Amino acid sequence: MHAVSQDAAEPPSSPTTLEHLATTPQAQSHPSELATEHVLCASCKEAIAACSALQSREKPPRGKSLLCSYANRKALESVATMCSTRASLEPLCHLCSLILGRIRQAEFSRQPPEDPPPPPEPIDVYFTVGRTGGTTLDIEIGESGRQRSVGYLVIVLADHEEAMSVSVTPDNPFFTFSPDSLEGTTGLRRNARLAKSLASEASFSLAREWLRQCIENHAQCTKAAGLAVGRPYRLVDIGNDNDADPKIIVMDFSRPLPPYLTLSHCWGGATILRLLLGNIATLTKGIPMHELPKTFQDAVIITRRLGYQYIWIDSLCIIQDSPPDWRTNAAIMGEIYAGSVCTVAALTARNAHDGGCFFEQARNPLSYRHCQLSPHWTVKGNSYIAPDLRLRPSWSPMEPFPLHTRAWVVQERLLAPRTLYYGATGLAWECAECSATENVPHGEVAEFSPKASFFEIMRQLPVAAQGEEDARRPDPELQEKVHALWLTILAAYGRCSLTRFDDRLVAVSGVLKRIEATTGWRNMWGIWRDSVLVDLLWFVDRPSVRPSTPDYLAPTWSWAGLEGAVFMAVGDGKGCQWAAEVVDDGVLQDGRGYLKLKAWRGG
């Protein structure tokens, strides 16, 4: 098995996207593995032909008009397969697929999986022109007078031969759109976004190319992977051939660490295979694939298809009923992710049995791909109907993918140099320099990503930390950036949940240690000693409980002792005049932390 080496020649530092995909040879995929785009059923053709806004060369007036209706979701699904009499062999309707995709997305994000399916309800699709001039297809479900919106599709009218941002709604004003004329109609990019399964060769070809381009062209990502100070004690060895059973191996610290992947997944309360004191001997001999939960099976397949032999999976590489082993590994878990070649993330699986990485072996990629309107259907030829969905994992609380509701994942995501996401909506990529999706496979510079900011600041800090001990601290401007980034990380972390509340600090300890090591700052139960007056002014937005834990967790002045999201009262503290100073801090004989302040009156 041949892995992509991270010890290649020093890569150039200028490329920050994955543009070289344009020169990649076409992935070999059987035509039956790919969906056919831009095909409409008779009902959708009729609806578009009857839409005056699409049949007029004039700019459509602001307003809302009914485009089409369906008795219920089953009726819509039935229409979607009526492109031919052989629905299983011929194309699905592209527009029906887009509408169904928005409905399914809304159901996935709002409805717990254990709830029964919602009752059949009518579906209406409206052509809407907003006050900014943006045109959309708004999808509403429910009886008249009680309709609720479940999403919309963006309409890009008339010919456009360049990528552009179009105004959509005041709340979401810009949507970047790249037409087929720029993206090409053949090759690796097109095959991946039209693949009917994430387990297809087309999807693996794109994943391998993202990884290769990053290793060869992103100096920051490759360098970051080599900075990890911890190494795993165990790995899952998947063997050298497809028929080998995975097994747990103990690492020999006298030998170089082999390149390995890591898995990021939701436990979700499900019963899964775990490494225990009683089964170590068995699991080190071999684990039949069918005994692994779905997510683990998929992770093994992905590791093989990417060309690697080893992967680290928390439940299989830490002895779960051995407190000493758990403490030892938990302390370096962030560094384990930081030292991996790439993290495989099961983005939308709620637990290890729920969908896995490939989610559905058969998916409908047309649900996430823009549809071109033929000149035969509208006078505004080559117009497009597109989902306003980048499929890019966001740090926003408005996009709570199941994986990103888990507190441990914050440091897994932040410290890993590269992450390959598998979700119900497709394949996505995130590294320290860019992010990419099936729809934007060449990647975008990650300007507003906490991950990109973290790696960029960490890249600058070792330079600032050289020299004598008293010269370790970075300059004030860089310190402000570090603290501002920490507040962003803390906000994301506080929104996430923990199975065991006493993991509140250890689950983010990898980030805390990395900041301590590069800045010289000292952490006190989640509060930075160097910015203690600012950091003490935290609050929670709703009444919160202070759970009891077997061992002392944190003093009352630390946010770590309370459940829930954490907010800062004064942000970064700029412009504040402080009427106090720290006199002393430390730990009492009983292990409790203390902090002494000296205050004075202003005047």
Residues 336 and 471 in one domain: no
Q: Tell me the C-alpha to C-alpha distance, in Å, between residue 223 and each of 6, 63, 385.
A: 9, 53, 41
**Per-residue pLDDT at 458:** 78
Residue at 388 is within a domain: no
DSSP annotation string for 153-191: EEEE-S---S-EEEE--SSS-EEEE--HHHH-SSSHHHH
| Predicted confidence (pLDDT) at residue 535 exceeds the cutoff of 60 | yes
The pLDDT value given to residue 444: 75
What pLDDT was estimated at residue 110? 61
- Number of CB atoms found within 10 A of residue 374's CB: 15
Residue that finishes a domain, picked among 129, 152, 186? 186
Bridge partners, residue 66, by sequence: 126
Q: What does the pLDDT read at residue 315?
A: 96
Vertex 151 angle, CA 146 and 153, to 5°: 130
Number of structural domains in the chain: 3
- Looking at residue 424, the DSSP 8-state letter turns out to be T
Asked if residue 318 is part of any domain, the answer here is yes
Same domain, 261 and 409: yes
Which domain, by its residues, includes 436?
A: 200-363+393-446
* Cα distance between residue 321 and residue 247, in whole Å: 19
How far is the CA of 562 from the CAs of 507, 530, 544, 571, in angstroms? 15, 22, 6, 20
Q: How far apart are CA 107 and CA 123, in angstroms?
A: 14
Range with the poorest average pLDDT among 170-179, 203-212, 287-296, 330-339: 170-179
Q: Does 182 lie in the same domain as 215?
A: no
Q: What whole-number distance in Å separates Cα of residue 224 and Cα of residue 334?
A: 13
| CA gap 150, 413 in Å, rounded | 29
Please check whether residues 421 and 513 belong to one and the same domain: no
- Residue 312 covered by a domain: yes
Nearest to 284 by CA among 254, 253, 319: 319
Most confident of 30-39, 397-406, 558-567: 558-567
Q: What is the pTM of this model?
A: 0.83
Q: What is the 3-state secondary structure (H, E, C) of 253-281?
A: CCCCCCCCEEEECCCCCCCCCCCCCCCHH
Mark whether 50 and 131 lie in a shared domain: yes
Does residue 82 carry a pLDDT above 50? yes
Q: At what angle do helices 476-494 and 450-464 cross, to 10 degrees?
A: 150
Residues 280, 282, 285, 290: what is their CA dihedral angle, to the nearest 10 degrees? Answer: -110
* Average confidence score pLDDT of the chain: 80
Q: Tell whether the model's pLDDT for residue 381 goes beyond 80.
A: no
116-159 tens-digit pLDDT: 667 788 999 998 888 777 788 899 998 888 888 888 888 877 55
Same-domain status, 479 and 495: yes
As a whole-number percent, the residues of the chain with pLDDT over 90 amount to 33
Close Cβ partners of 285 (under 8 Å, ≥ 6 residues apart): 247
Residues 315 and 462 in one domain: no
In terms of domains, do 135 and 233 share one? no
Indicate if the pLDDT at residue 179 is higher than 60: no
Lowest mean pLDDT among 406-410, 524-528, 574-578: 574-578
pLDDT tier at 112, thresholds 50, 70, 90: low
Q: Which residue has the higher pLDDT, 25 or 68?
A: 68
In a domain, 371, yes or no: no
Instruction: Please report, for residues 55, 432, 458, the alpha-carbon distance to residue 214 in angstroms, rounded to integers and kept in the order given.
Output: 45, 9, 19
The token duo for 237 is 């060895």
Q: Are residues 406 and 275 in the same domain?
A: yes
Query: How many angstroms separate the CA atoms of 340 and 221, rounded?
Result: 11
Residues 491 and 534 in one domain: yes
Give the number of other CB atoms < 10 A from CB of residue 267.
Answer: 17
Answer yes or no: do 434 and 529 share one domain: no
DSSP state of 497: B
Helices (H) and strands (E) in the chain, counts: 18, 23
Neighbours of 111 (CB within 10 A): 12
Considering only 272-281, 326-335, 589-598, which range has the smallest mean pLDDT? 589-598
First-last CA distance in the chain: 72
- Calculate Rg over the CA atoms of the chain: 26
Query: Could you tell me if residue 368 is inside a domain?
Result: no
Which pLDDT band, with edges at 50, 70 and 90, does 369 fall under?
confident
Domain presence at residue 554: yes
Q: Among the three residues 186, 220, 252, which one is the final residue of a domain in this structure?
A: 186
- Residue 465, pLDDT > 80, answer no
Greater pLDDT, 254 or 449: 254
pLDDT, tens digit (0-9, with 9 covering 90-100), for 215-229: 999 888 887 776 677
CA–CA gap between residue 403 and residue 344 (Å, rounded)? 12
Handedness of CA 209, 212, 217, 220 (dihedral sign): positive
Residue-wise burial string across 66-100, b where 16 or more C-beta atoms lie within 10 A, e elsewhere:
ebbebeebeebeebbbbbeeeeeeebbbbbbbbbb
